[in-house]
Amino acid sequence: MRWRMCPLRNGASAGKQRTIDPLLSRRRQTGGSDSSDSYSSSVISTQTSADEKKLIRAAQQGDQRALERLLAREQPRIWRFSMKMCRNPDEAGDVLQDTLLAAARTVREGYGHQLYDFQTQEQFQSRYAGRTGDYYIHPPFETLLFLPICLWSLPTAYLLWCLLNTVVLAHTARVFQRHVFKRWDWRVFLPLFFLFPPVLLSFLQGHDSLLLLLAMTLAFIALKQERNFTAGCWLGCGLFKFHIVLALVVLVTSLGRKGMLQGFALVFVILLLISAGVSGWGFLTAYPHFLMSLHHLPLAGIHPEAMANIRGLVTVAGIVQNADAHLALVGIASALIVCYAWTSFKNQKLEFGDVTNLAFGNFVLAAILVSYHLSPPDLCIALLPIGLFSQYLSEHTGIPRWVRLSVLGSQCVLFLPPLHVISLASHVYLYPIIPILIMFLLTSAKIFRGIPRHADGSPVRSTFPPMAR
């Protein structure tokens, strides 16, 4: 399973023109017609409009602008076709591990300054993995994490990475036992974690999402212990997925956690200097330009249909077709979610300090929802709010029964495999957003604020300091 290659991606790998249908590209080069027409009809449609046919003819004659318009229009259908071929949203986007290791090889051989050049990435992936896959879209500093294992063959490097992820997951389980959900032993948590489909996808595809889960968990513990500077440092360590971490940092900082922003800024500066050492200061312009160019590439591994966030919801709903209006709608909806999460905890005089569990779990869900890019394995960070909410419910009374059952039911639906299996079978990994939204809205509401209690059920005030001061 790990080494099975997607037929569509194997055929669409060479050169800077990987953005176009490989057989359409071949037709442009050779003048061929039959195979190109049959393939384009299977991917795009047999019932194309006159405008689409005109765009296809112009693209075949070398019109780059027509090609970009055609790809922007047909990207959802290209994605569905690749899903039918690969039966998995991440295989349709190819295996990330190959991409990360090839990027590390690029840096190791002294080409870090060309890390965000499309052709360079393809050349190193072809040399190292024997094929081209997703582009490397992470910051330069993360390549240092893969430098030690990129010296090995690809199967060995993958095995070493899985062993590292197992150690990370085991340590996360021990931390959960002590600080997150204290009713179970870590030996129970560890096998349960492996039942969570995003965790399995993270192992299968060689993702780095489990490192982010550990960093967020350690940041939460530091906040509970009033070590705000340390919490900021841990969140800074998660900047390899800055599109998720930044929203969480903004929300926690807005609640007056003094010292947290300084710790985050320190790690940010350190990672910035490391990135400059890897790729040169030119990465400050090359990296953003690289990311902004990806939306033109339907085979670059950027598929909103596989994102359980606001961007995926707006894309699948098809509310707007214009690209600018789509971006604006996603931005407005994301801003509203952040504001709602902030005001839900900011504008209250919190009587009990153990709302830290509730607020941090809620903020993690908000970060998931507003992240502009979210792969299915990234949902493994939802384990943290699931554990925090479970502990909160076990320690509090006064919460309406229907609210308790709704939150617990949403947790079960998100954690158990059926929802993820349905999402994979329908080729749209958006459905996990439903239990995530339910948990986010309910835990943000005042009706979810309970009264702490002893084991015997009697209420007790917490000694933890409040989140908002």
* Interval 186-191 mean pLDDT: 91
Tell me the pLDDT tens digit for each residue of 328-385: 999 999 999 999 999 888 755 444 345 778 889 999 999 999 998 898 999 999 999 9
pLDDT above 70 (res 79): no
The span from the CA of 89 to the CA of 101, in Å, is 21
Same structural domain for residues 391 and 262?
yes
Higher pLDDT, 25 or 265: 265
Same structural domain for residues 387 and 445?
yes
Residue 374 lies in a domain: yes
Residue 191 lies in a domain: yes
Going by pLDDT thresholds of 50, 70 and 90, the confidence category of residue 205 is: confident
pLDDT above 60 (res 275): yes
pTM of the model: 0.76
Same structural domain for residues 365 and 439?
yes
* Interval 444-451 mean pLDDT: 80
Residue 246 lies in a domain: yes
Same structural domain for residues 31 and 148?
no
Tell me the pLDDT tens digit for each residue of 230-254: 999 999 999 999 999 999 999 998 8
Percent of all residues in the chain with a pLDDT value above 70, rounded to a whole number:
72
Residue 424: count other Cβ atoms within 10 Å of its Cβ.
21
The span from the CA of 430 to the CA of 88, in Å, is 13
pLDDT of residue 366: 96
Same structural domain for residues 65 and 115?
no
The span from the CA of 295 to the CA of 72, in Å, is 8
pLDDT above 70 (res 228): yes
pLDDT above 50 (res 21): no
pLDDT above 60 (res 408): yes
Residue 412 lies in a domain: yes
Same structural domain for residues 112 and 167?
no
Number of domains in the chain: 3
Tokens read off for 163: 């062993």
Same structural domain for residues 244 and 148?
no
Domain that holds residue 33: 7-45+52-87
Contacts of 262 (CB under 8 A, 6+ apart): 229, 232
Tell me the pLDDT tens digit for each residue of 83-129: 444 444 444 334 556 777 788 888 888 888 888 888 888 888 887 77
The span from the CA of 464 to the CA of 359, in Å, is 13
Residue 261: count other Cβ atoms within 10 Å of its Cβ.
18
Same structural domain for residues 18 and 106?
no
Same structural domain for residues 185 and 67?
no
